[in-house]
Amino acid sequence: MIMYIYAEHNFVILSSDSQVKWFDDLVGIAYRYYDLRMNVIPLFHDFKKAQLFWRETIKWWNDHSIKIRFVESGNTYWFIMGAESTSRENDRFLFKILPISSHYERFKKGHEGTAYLRLGVYTKKYKKDVKNNAKCNCGHIKEDHEEGDEFDSCLFEACDCEKFETFQINMLKKKKTVTNIKFLTEVEIKEDVLAWNCLSVNKYGKKEKDADK
């Protein structure tokens, strides 16, 4: 899909034949480092939703046209992704606002201009679901937590964890190769059509609507 953009009095207006459907119903973004290329993995709530999104949207994206933008704003960043599609019916662009993390910083430093795009599923796991050496989100293993299903707080005095929780990420096998990746500040987005359109609709446009109420 090609987006045509017109600048009029500092407003950006998309032409009527290029409306973008923005999708942000994601758990977050995961990064994986140990393949030939680093992986960028938008995370869904369940496997069926991830499969459906791939089948309806990502499958029809041309690899060479996929763009990923990271727009940093304070301690957070916008993950923005879109592409030209051979199927307009279910085409959607993705965005998610996330806190800047060490995983994000590692990807930023090491991606070398290319990455595999895959979709994944984020699942919470509790004490009954995992082995004894599994780590809680607090950093301590299952055996370092009290016994019992309801009262399984961490036994380390300095740890305020009250319930054992961890997570598992499962990835779809299919992948695309992305070679158009940019890191921007919010000041720089007017030079980038994808990033500007995303924030125009999902940040600046919402502020204007709220102000009119």
Per DSSP, the three-state class of 151 is coil
Spatial separation of the C-alpha atoms in residues 50 and 140, rounded to whole Å:
31
Read off the pLDDT of residues 50-108 as tens digits, 9 standing for 90 and up.
999 999 999 999 999 999 999 999 999 999 999 999 888 889 999 999 999 999 999 99
Give the start-to-end residue ranges of the domains of the chain.
1-6+22-119+172-199, 124-164
pTM: 0.81
Q: Which runs of E-coded beta strand occur in the chain?
A: 5-8, 11-14, 22-23, 28-32, 39-44, 67-73, 76-82, 93-99, 115-117, 120-126, 165-171, 176-178, 180-185
Strand partners, 168: 123
